[in-house]
Structure 1
Amino acid sequence: MQARNFLLVLLLLLSPWLSATPLQFEAEYQTFEKQPVSLQALIGKKPVYLKFWATWCLDCRSELPSLEQTYQKYSDKIAIFAVNLNINETDEAIRSLQQKHKLTIPILMDNNGTIAGNFEFKGTSFHVLINAQGDVIYTTYKDDAQLAEKLVQLASNAPTVATASTPTNTAPITALPKGIAVVYFTATWCDWYMKDIHPEMSSNCANSLQLVDKLYRSNPKLPLTAYVTHLWTEQTDLADYIKKFNIPYAVTTDDNNQQFRHLKANEYPTFIVFNNGKEIGRFTQFDNAGKVQKEVEVLLKGK
């Protein structure tokens, strides 16, 4: 009986690791400097450190000097990449930070979230350590002493036990109805968080929100599916967002950005019009909201 109980406890302890799905990457990615990189070829052969970031993430910016120091210290023992989410990014913003902090670390550009989608995280900066056996051994949002300790262990290539799991479930892809349908992607924080960092993005988000509100109120039967990214968003944030803007339509959190990635979006906001499941219009710039509204209304009448 004792042996049986011990086995049960062991299985319970191991279950997060046993249930983890293998890491899945595309055959090739590119660095910001257009150099090809195969993450899949590295996994299981060399320790890997992935640091997810974005130029508009203030915490990410503050951690760049530390990240460069880590790269200088461990690049001969660990494959280290600054993985840019590639959402609402510009070459100018990346280049500016690269030059400001004299970054030599390879900046790997995620492709439609196919790197980030392997890991469940709520925001950046996010750190992932993968041992030479291909196991995720540590994840964290903090660049602190514990991360430094884990990096020492990873660089030593000492035997380590997987302590973090990769997602085992993904949200089902929402089927589009027949006829005209609209899908809208945005973020609960886009209008206020971006206000000082990227005011043009903040304005664009606010304009898109007003446009969608007008379209929905004038077409209350419009099949509209609205998503907010799961990044930096809890249920309370979503509730506050709906209340703040008096949103009349249903809004859902896009868990792990599954729907966003499925429709190959890479900007917030994005507004897509479909007809019988086929995309007939995509809009990401809303500075001239009147023009966009007219173009959308033409598409809506084409049913």
Structure 2
Amino acid sequence: MKVLCVLAVSLILLAASVLNAAAISERTLIIEIPFIEREHVPLEHYRGKKPLYIKFWASWCQTCLKEMPHFQHSFEQYGSDIEFISVNVGLEDTVDTVQSAIKTYGLTMPQAIDSKGALAKHFRFQGTPYHLLLDKELNVVHAGHSANSDVDRKLALLASNTPLEFLSSERFNETEGDIDIDFATTATHILYFSAAWCHWYLEKSRPQTSQACIQNQLDINDAYTRLPKTLTLHSVLSRLWTDDEALAQYRHKFNVKHPLVIDKSNALFFRYQITALPTFVVIRDGKEVARYRDFNTIPIQ
């Protein structure tokens, strides 16, 4: 009887674990992976086949590039047993810059660019590099920002079909609320999309972008108090690598007096498909009417 009770408890705990497993949601399953040189397929395509190793990266991300030899070596070692997918996040990158990185590091696994940001939003990561390991049934067994010994250990286990503990499904549930902006008002809205790290992190890899982020912020500071009352400016920072402390530091450095928020749910960056920094989106009557890269080119009326 004691053995039966122990077995029953074990089965209950296992069932609870499975119910809370980080299986890919149905909404995520239908997202197509935007491969560069092959047919786009939804994530669901891989269910029941091989485990998956998905790495998110950017060509201006220094840590991402340092890890590329490890990624390629892992592909050469486990590529016959595990499906590898390299996903560029599509922010401040183009096909040319991605192809250049592929050539520099001799990457031979399938390549994709998440230019619409759908994968990034659904997997809810806060920065690159980002490593995802999934088993054959698309349960997430690893999520992290480092190509470390834990990744190596789990790759070996996945390649040998050894079951791994699932991560909690709650990890990918969006808990942050969307930025509350009433676009239905008669005012014209200008959304200024930038990043708290644009001015310093991109200084060497994207110097023109870095300078543009600095200059536009200074121009906004200078003009903000003179903007007409029929126009509302919202400064929106990317959630990548950015918390409330980083927001406060940015506000202090540039002496920002106008409204400035982090897009913590990534809803606005995703909605307006922001792929370049900085970007200004003009909204009138609830609809986008124009985009600009330079504040001084916006016709202010």
Tell me the TM-score normalised to structure 2 length.
0.86
Superposition map of 1:87-106 within 5 A: 87-106=91-110
Of 214, 228, 232, 2:241 maps to 232
| Correspondence 1:109 to 2:113 | yes
Q: Which residue matches 2:292?
A: 283
Aligned to 1:204, which of 201, 212, 224? 212
Partner of 1:206, secondary structure, is helix
1:258-296 CA deviation, whole Å, 9 max, x = no partner?
211012221221111111111111113x3xx54x1xx33
Give, in whole Å, the separation in 2 of the partners of 1:207 and 1:122: 26
Task: Specify the alignment match of 1:52 in structure 2.
Answer: 56
* C-alpha spacing 1:21/1:167, structure 2 compared with 1 (3 Å): same
After superposition, give the CA deviation of every residue in 1:171-190 in whole Å (9 maximum; x if it has no partner): 33644142211211110000
Aligned 8 A contact 2:194 2:279 in 1: yes
Task: Give the whole-Å Cα distance in 2 for the aligned partners of 1:30 and 1:278.
Answer: 27
Match of 1:245 in 2: 254
* Equivalent runs, 1:1-303 vs 2, <5 Å: 10=13, 16-17=20-21, 21-22=25-26, 24-33=28-37, 35-165=39-169, 166-169=171-174, 171-172=177-178, 174=180, 175-179=182-186, 180-219=188-227, 221=229, 222-284=231-293, 286=294, 290=296, 292=297, 295-297=298-300, 301=301
The secondary structure found in structure 1 opposite 2:87 is strand
- What RMSD, in angstroms, separates the aligned Cα atoms of the two structures? 2.6
- The answer to whether the 8 Å contact 1:127/1:140 transfers is yes
CA deviation digits over 1:119-157, x for unaligned, max 9? Answer: 232211110001111111111111111110011111122
Please tell me the residue identity of whatever aligns with 2:84: I
Q: Distance in 2 between matches of 1:243 and 1:20?
A: 40
Shift of 1:18: 7.3
Pair 1:43–1:185, CA change in 2 (3 A): farther
Contact 2:57 2:88 in 1 (8 A): yes
Q: Which runs of 5+ in 2 are unaligned?
A: none
3-state secondary structure, aligned to 1:94: helix
- Aligned residue for 1:260, secondary structure, equals helix
Distance in 2 (CA, whole Å) between partners of 1:43 and 1:116 is 20
Deviation of 1:58 (Å) = 0.1
Deviates more, 1:112-121 or 1:19-28: 19-28
Could you tell me the TM-score, scaled by structure 1's length?
A: 0.85
More deviation, 74-83/35-44? 35-44
Amino acid at match of 2:279: T
The answer as to whether partners of 2:24 and 2:139 remain within 8 angstroms in 1 is no
Amino acid at match of 2:209: M
Q: Distance in 1 between matches of 2:223 and 2:288?
A: 18
Asked if structure 1 preserves the Cα contact closer than 8 Å seen for 2:212 and 2:278, the reply is yes
The number of residues matched between the two structures is 288
Instruction: Give the fraction of aligned pairs with identical amino acids, expressed as a percent.
Output: 29
CA contact (8 A) 2:195 2:277 kept: yes
Question: Kindly tell me: are residues 120 and 29 of structure 1, through their superposed partners in 2, closer, same or farther at Cα, counting changes over 3 Å?
Answer: closer
Kindly indicate whether the alpha-carbon contact (under 8 Å) linking 1:17 and 1:163 is maintained by their aligned counterparts in 2: yes
Contact 2:34/2:40 (<8 A) preserved:
yes
- Cα distance, 1:44 vs structure 2: 4.4
Write the distance in 2 (CA, Å) between the matches of 1:204 and 1:140: 31
1:190–1:205 contact (8 Å) kept in structure 2? yes
Distance 1:16 1:249, change over 3 A: farther
Contact 2:50 2:136 in 1 (8 A): yes
